[in-house]
Amino acid sequence: MHNQNQNTKAAKIAVVLTDPDDWTANAFLTSIRKRGANALPINLSTLSVSVSTSDFSIFSTDLNDLLELDAIIVRDVGISSSLEQISFKFDLLRLFETANIPVMNSPNAIQNAANKFFSFYLFKQAHLPIPRTVVTSDLGVAMKAIEEFEIVVAKPIFGSQGKGIFKLEASQPDLKQKLATLLKERGVLYLQQFVPNHGRDIRVFVVGEEALGAIYRISQAGSFISNLSQGGTPLMCDLTEEMRALAVNATKTVGADFAGVDLIEGDEGLFVLEVNATPSGKGIKVTCGIDVTERIIGRMFERGLRV
């Protein structure tokens, strides 16, 4: 039945977003419309569910047939105020998937990528180079790791945009106090060996099996964090085979269809820092002129909409 409808009616593709002014969200909407499909912006926090023994529906004030969507692109799930809210948002994405609506990136891939501990475990299993990392709630273990690593970067396990990232050094006199405070705040410490670098990292954009382009992100003077949202400056980067292979493999390892992969150049080669499965496409558009959203929507159509 639905296939017949698809022949006569334009496909309905939702873009999950939180900021209606976001460049990437708007580029997704435009790329969908260019293909002759209807593009629907949706904020997951506006959705409601009704479930009973015999019925199930997902609805919002303006939409009452969300299970009729033909595909979903996730730009941004949004910061949530509680574990319950974030869990509900991911459950909604999982429900769409079980209703045979392709969700890109899949909630599983987004969760794997967002988790800086679990993704590192997956990278290790896939033999990808990663900086040494210790995750612990034991202050003694944390102190020992810092002594061994000499300089560490403490990160939230779930974090983004360079927020909540600190450099700690084995030689600093207030180290134990700082760690104790951080541990109290976070409940668990994620400590990664600092990779000495040239004040920049590399953001590679991957769609499917292909690395489309990359930018260096040069950190602001006095900072070691190169995220554009932290004042980093983008610069075109010519992809090497090593960069391509690492970025494509890292993307595949978390199960993502598209991603922004952060690499850092150490003395002995490249390391994977993270895979972002809800990346911004703005930096690479502005710097290299590549609109990744067109390629992502292209891939979605190639893989097929709801059947």
Ligand X SMILES: Nc1ncnc2c1ncn2[C@@H]1O[C@H](COP(=O)(O)OP(=O)(O)O)[C@@H](O)[C@H]1O
Footprint of ligand X (CB under 6 A): 131, 153, 155, 159-163, 165, 192, 194-195, 197, 201, 224-227, 262, 264, 273-274
Nearer to ligand X, 101 or 113 (CB): 113
CA distances to 31, 240, 257, 264, 296 from 69, in Å = 17, 39, 19, 39, 18
285 binds, among ligand X, Mg ion, none (CB under 5 to 8 A by kind): none
- CA angle at 58 for the pair 56 and 64, rounded to the nearest 5°: 110
Nearer to Mg ion, 116 or 306 (CB): 116
Using the rule CB under 5 A, give the single segment among 103-111, 213-221, 270-278, 291-299 that binds Mg ion: 270-278
Residue 201 found at the interface with Mg ion (CB under 5 A): no
Q: Strand 12-16 relative to strand 71-74: parallel, antiparallel, unpaired?
A: parallel
Q: Answer whether 205's CB lies under 8 Å from 281's CB.
A: yes
Measured from the CB of residue 14, what is the shortest distance to ligand X in angstroms? 25
End-to-end CA distance of the chain: 9
Q: Quick check: helix, strand or coil at residue 49? A: strand
Q: Answer whether 107's CB lies under 8 Å from 48's CB.
A: no
264 binds, among Mg ion, ligand X, none (CB under 5 to 8 A by kind): ligand X
Residue 262 found at the interface with Mg ion (CB under 5 A): yes
Measured from the CB of residue 116, what is the shortest distance to ligand X in angstroms? 6
**Residue 42 β-bridge partners:** 16
Measured from the CB of residue 232, what is the shortest distance to ligand X in angstroms? 7
Measured from the CB of residue 192, what is the shortest distance to ligand X in angstroms? 4
Q: Quick check: helix, strand or coil at residue 81? A: coil
Pairwise CA distance, residues 87 & 92, whole Å: 9
Compute how many residues bind Mg ion; rule: CB under 5 A: 2
Nearer to ligand X, 60 or 115 (CB): 115
